[in-house]
Structure 1
Amino acid sequence: MDALRKFPARPTGAGETFQLFRDGAPRTRAWLMTQSGHSRSTVAARIDALCRIGVLAPTGEASSTGGRPPATFAFAPSARVVLGVDLGATRARIGLTDLAGTLLVERDELVAITDGPERVLAWVADTAEALLAEIGRPASDLAGVGIGVPGPVDHLTGRPANPPIMPGWNDVDVPSHLAERLGVAVAVDNDANIIALGEQRMIYPGERELLYVKVATGIGAGVLMDGALRRGAQGAAGDIGHLSLPGKQDVLCRCGNHGCLEAVASLASIARNLGQEEGAPVSTDDVIARVRVGDVRANAHVRQAGRDIGLALASAVNLLNPSRIVVGGLLALAGDQLIAGIREVVYQRCMPLATARLQIGTARGGSNAGIVGAATLVIDSFLSPEAVEGLILSKEE
């Protein structure tokens, strides 16, 4: 992430001033003078610098109380575009947003992560160039790339770290690979983290303490505390799928341990258990289809998966005290049984104070949440005070 930032030797103060415009509301010079305590000449110089790099633009005039109406200025999110990429186990979603996170164009295609980094990252770069051409933007307008992958990521390096469902990806330098092709800095994170960020920005902007849980081929979580992603020391925070459940020690997980939540309650495990119970193979698509039509046996398995997930989440609720749990992924979107099972156990096992205002529900951001969340990784860094200062100084050189 630090690669997305430039740290100027002599800050102008314009980077801090710009943060007052991030909400999109038009401001006058007089308003900025009142808010900042700076002189008219200082405020004017900072506005001029921000307009030169394109992140601020005149928006007209405010109403006058006498005399000449004051000019107003506002954030210009169309100045640059950002690529957001959400790589799943079998699908990839990719799109361009403006600097406010508004989605401009997107693609949703079948791309298997097991195809390996060379093929998948080449597809990302090819599609990025095609999307830029589609909306008529030059490559120089690309501010950066945010990408989510379905496995743990070392946040300091952006490299996947022993991802169970990503053969051939371990320790691959994803940022350098894409930066070499697209010429911009790249931020990489776990897919649950980027979707958590996307859900928060798109649907729950007022939520400061949010826990997102993705239930699909695997199970993962993204943790937002005080409005920011919490990744832990090496980026392993939220790896709820590999918490060990009591009484499940006979179930082998693909990570090599026994009793992991993912081995017990994921979509893949439900398909496996249904197949063993019925004596015939059951695919994950079969599970989703049967849940949607109200199949009793499939719904019973999904309800139990919800209880198992609820057991793991109860510990997280008591420890972190989130105000909202958002559950996404294919299994959550197929019906209400998963959420019902989670609520049943969480409200039963958690301390009353921890659940007094806790809301548990299904994700609402849709397939775009991952794209927007990945783009937000870049946007928040690209528009940070330090990075804006860097843009101003590079413009002057």
Structure 2
Amino acid sequence: MTDVSGHRDSNTSELFQIMRDGQPRTRSELAATTGLARSTVALRIDALMKLGLLRPVSDAISTGGRPSTQFSLNSTGHSVLAVDVGASHVRVAVTDLTGSVFAEVSDRLDIADGPVAVLDKVTSLGTDLLASGESSGRTLLAVGVGLPGPVEHATGRPINPPIMPGWDRYDVAGTLGAHFGVPVLVDNDVNIMALGERQLAWPDVDDLLFVKVATGIGAGVISGGTLRRGAQGTAGDLGHVYVPRGADIYCRCGNRGCLEALASGAALGRQLQTDANEPLTGLDVIERVRRGDIEAIQAVRQAGRDIGEVLTTCVSLMNPSTIVIGGSLSAAGEFLIAGVRESIYTRATPFATQHLEITRSRIGADAAIAGAGVLAIQYALSNERVDSMVASLSA
């Protein structure tokens, strides 16, 4: 039996991070890459194989003598649980360590039913998924959760969420962690959508803004390849940035002139409503746009201009290479995007926009569940967690 007791502080995780790209490598190749002795590399590989994180694959081509064994990421022995909770839905999926979904389920719910009822639904759906089919027998490493409101990421607690009565400071991470027995990471829905969009559609883009336009408006900010949450986790809260055109319009936050009060799906529904007894939703607005309704098209185009006015400041401040527009109102298509582009390309400096791509989400509704999985995987396979798992081998 291989002795791994000397590797408690050996930063075995650094070697593992190299292997996360899925490319098979031999011990000799890893020794050349890391500068470590081949014997040290062998011990670290043995430890990672005991944890089920690496596996042997086909032998390398021989240049004389016995072929060297190659090793690669073992994505099949472990899993994470991804949870997307919306205002009226929940979606739960089990993914492997590359983020590939192999089991999922969704259901209707009302977020206003409160945390006990909603989280009971999550635990029920998650437990059934983990016990069924391909999920069975895998070791669960972490759970990632997205919620439709502000979240204090460090604690996993929602903070004064406007559409989530009864959820303020509720211990979501603790509740789910007690049930599943693994770490639980919680973030707001826009941040996890940004993670998912980048993972599946823009893996080579390090500076990206994902803007969700739906009942509210918010952004997930990825800079230097890292999701930026800010000091309290409120980075990207674009919906409550002041827009002069709306100076006399009240927002649900209590202020006037907020972008959300002008350009969200709910705001457009109010603008286009003709019958006080038949309120329009954002989906109603989209349907009118699809039918070619000129008034709805003009309202959506103006919403794009208002959003673009706020994003112009973001472009000057952060210099992203890509702005992705998602959320339900993005289904209005090029009319919304055209308004965003009009404002940004008119107001931002040519140097900042010469290579800037402004586009609609490529993966749409799948962004949130993918991002919840990424959130869990990033934590579960972090250096600290891997080193902790290695240390447990000799505990």
Per the normalisation by structure 1, the TM-score is 0.95
CA distance 1:313–1:323, change in 2 (3 Å) = same
Alignment-mate amino acid for residue 337 of structure 1: F
Query: After superposition, where does 1:157-168 map in structure 2 within 5 Å?
Result: 157-168=155-166
2:220 counterpart of 1:188: no
Equivalent in 73, 88, 91 of residue 89 of structure 2: 91
Q: CA separation in 2, counterparts of 1:33 and 1:281?
A: 66
Give the equivalent residue in structure 2 for 1:388: 386
CA deviation after TM superposition for structure 1 residue 132, in Å: 1.2
Question: More deviation in 155-164 or 202-211?
Answer: 155-164
The answer for the alignment partner of 2:140 in structure 1 is: 142
Q: Secondary structure at the match of 2:221?
A: strand
Q: How far apart, CA to CA, are the structure 2 residues paired with 1:54 and 1:10?
A: 17
Among 124, 130, 133, the residue aligned to 2:131: 133
The answer to whether the aligner puts 1:283 opposite 2:249 as a matched pair is no
Q: 1:108: Cα distance to partner?
A: 3.0
Does structure 1 conserve the Cα–Cα contact (< 8 Å) formed by 2:7 and 2:391?
A: no
Q: Does the CA-based 8 Å contact 1:89-1:217 persist in structure 2?
A: no
Q: Over residues 70-92 of structure 1, what are the superposed CA-to-partner deviations in whole Å (9 max), with x where a residue is unaligned?
A: 10000001121111112222222
1:304 aligned partner: 302
Provide the C-alpha distance between the structure 2 equivalents of 1:138 and 1:86, rounded to a whole number of angstroms.
21
**Would you say 1:203 and 2:205 are equivalent positions?**
no
Give the alignment's TM-score, normalised by structure 2: 0.95
Distance 1:11 1:384 in 2: 15
Residue identity matched to 2:373: A
Q: Which residue of 2 aligns with 1:66?
A: 64
Match of 1:18 among 16, 30, 36: 16
What is the one-letter code of the residue matched to 1:73? F
Task: Give structure 1 stretches of 5+ with no counterpart.
Answer: 1-7
> Which structure's relative contact order is higher, taking Cα pairs within 8 Å and 6+ residues apart?
1
Q: Which moved more, 1:333-342 or 1:356-365?
A: 333-342
Q: Which of residues 174, 177, 193 is equivalent to 1:179?
A: 177
Amino acid at match of 1:50: L
Matched, 1:237 2:235: yes
- Partner residue, 1:77: 75
What letter is aligned with 2:193? I
Partner SS for 1:396: coil
Match of 1:101 among 95, 99, 102: 99
Distance 1:250-1:261 versus aligned 2 partners, 3 A rule:
same
Equivalence for 1:5: none
Q: Secondary structure at the match of 2:287?
A: helix
Q: C-alpha displacement at 1:278, in angstroms?
A: 8.9
**Residues 121, 344 of structure 1: alpha-carbon distance in 2 compared, 3 angstrom cutoff:** same
The amino acid of 1:190's aligned partner reads N
SS of 2:391's equivalent in the other structure is helix
Deviation digits for residues 160-193 of structure 1 (CA, Å, limit 9, x no counterpart) = 1111111111111110011111111110111110
| CA deviation after TM superposition for structure 1 residue 366, in Å | 2.6
Whichever residue aligns with residue 387 of structure 1, its letter is: R
Identify which range, 279-288 or 333-342, moves more after superposition.
279-288
Amino acid across the alignment from 2:334: D
Change (3 A) 1:9 1:164: farther
Whole-Å Cα distance in 1 between the matches of residues 313 and 378 of structure 2?
31
Cα deviation, residue 110, structure 1: 2.1
Count, aligned residues: 390
* RMSD over aligned Cα atoms: 1.7
Give the corresponding residue for 1:292.
Answer: 290
379-388 or 229-238: which moved more? 379-388
Q: 1:340 to 1:277 in 2, by over 3 A?
A: farther
Match among 270, 279, 291 for residue 268 of structure 2 = 270
